[in-house]
Structure 1
């Protein structure tokens, strides 16, 4: 067997017991509907990680495992703004997957997708990381939308039912949770990184994720090089909208300001800001450093809780 095939076989065998197939029943206007998805075992006592949209609106569900066991599942917590959910299966002595770090991924790197596409359980596809730093709009239908940043793009074949399954590197570590089809031959996965681990911990602990907000909408990408060069700075996030009566408005923040730092931590894109807006900051004053018309200034803001 060639080295490429050997690597994929080893990944598939190592994760065979750590990726579950999900069947969920949802109540819709047309009656109950059966849906399928996948989940990754993250703790031996029954905790599973999946995509929030897989279990959204579900009434009941089951998980089946590589050893033949099939059990009921319950939703421990779901976060539509990251498209992640934690489930609890009525089973013990499960084999958890090893979680990796998507920050270490490189374009062109081999990845393997494992899941339950079209009801074909424990299916394995392989490809490469096609792109990094993609954006995925998520959120409840008809509700607020938020960009999940640094999403992984892959050409490993994904189909309906793969959502919630594992995207695995050649070292057998789960580096992403497959979440969406971007088009023919392209798929997207929510990265496993420090921010994702915080969300998982919050869902396991509290059943929900609390986020702070400053009351601004910011440009999702870093400043374009010509603008950054003209300003003489490389860091900074452009404020494109200030929410009326929000924390930023009360502090005097204006559209067009550049947000340079939050409590001394430099920020240069929306992901940096989202990472800092954890629940612990709600109601606690913080210092924000701004650049306006070439002048640097510091304002005090009191973040509020983001409500979906």
Structure 2
């Protein structure tokens, strides 16, 4: 008997307190991912150059001069307690003598990162992993002034943080729209890599919607997965710095690099500015983040999944499970394990990252139509 495949529609409530984005299954661990914190013969050669004043867009030099004042260096200190020396690894009879002094004393660990000014009154955005667990945070402006900073709020699932300094009249950066950017567009990365303050590097947008392909340190089931990939050089210390388009607008927050060595190897990743803006606004206003989730664990659709579900092309995401396992909006709406989600809120779902992007544009409590194949 030939199998019959039907198309179902469900309305799900994107409800619940924010814990991250739509859950996703980890992809291939094809290279090491780390945070970006601290021709021969007679063939003609073509010299490649960046654009200069195209359709009113400034040159690299013009943009760098305009945006650098709004970029900051973030320096942190953390108290790290060394591991206690196991008994038996010190001279015999000395264990009790050493323990009376309280064991190993904490040491100060220093960290470096980047950030940018989001408001003239001192609010600055950076990465969560730059300031997480820091005892002290200081901000150095491009004019050399140094300020002590207060951490306003952090969110580990999106790797975004906001700090505040006591200053007025600061130069700010213009927020752009990452959704309208295209693969192949020129971008600049500005930050403080390897202790080299206010460094500018250039490249292009290499890809968008990167997610399952990369496994970030300390990432979990709720981690937002929708990165802009660039080949602009990003190194440790660039974390928290802006990714700038050719209009001088911020379209991403530089966060991680793909490398076997921990240094630049041609792949860098930035958090889309639309997500960063939502998170920073929430942190400033409420001190916490509440982004909507459907409560599903999903993975990309493979060719065999598309064939089984009667899809004309390989697109959509497959439901692997639910969170919480015994309930949640998606399960309550009738979605089942094995379903392939193809549209949400009337928009096509191409991959896991596009599903997250669609859902996070709604508010907690909204009801959204979900179209799927079963």
TM-score, normalized by the shorter chain, greater than 0.5: yes
Q: Does 1:254 align with 2:343?
A: no
Contact 1:11 1:172 in 2 (8 A): yes
Q: For 2:148, which of 61, 65, 72 is the aligned residue?
A: 72
Could you say which residue in structure 1 is the equivalent of 2:59?
Answer: 7
RMSD, aligned α-carbons: 2.9
Where do 1:118-267 residues align within 5 Å? Answer: 118-135=194-211, 136-138=214-216, 141=218, 144-149=221-226, 151-183=227-259, 184-193=265-274, 195-219=275-299, 221=300, 227=306, 230-231=310-311, 236-243=316-323, 244-247=325-328, 248-260=330-342, 264-266=345-347
TM-score (structure 1 length as normaliser) = 0.81
Contact 2:343 2:372 in 1 (8 A): no
The aligned length equals 285
Q: For 2:178, which of 102, 108, 112 is the aligned residue?
A: 102
Contact 1:115 1:121 in 2 (8 A): yes
Q: Does 1:52 align with 2:128?
A: yes
Contact 1:77 1:206 in 2 (8 A): no
Contact 1:138 1:146 in 2 (8 A): no
Structure 2 regions of 5+ residues with no counterpart? 1-48, 53-57, 83-106, 260-264
Q: Choose between structure 1 and 2: higher strand proportion.
A: 1
Cα offsets for 1:58-88 (capped at 9, x unmatched): 1111101112211011111111111111111
3-state SS of 2:194 partner: helix
Contact 2:294 2:359 in 1 (8 A): no
3-state SS of 1:36 partner: strand
Task: Determine which structure has more spread, i.e. the larger CA radius of gyration.
Answer: 2
TM-score (structure 2 length as normaliser) = 0.68
Contact 1:24 1:61 in 2 (8 A): yes
Following superposition, the deviation at residue 114 of structure 1 comes to 0.8
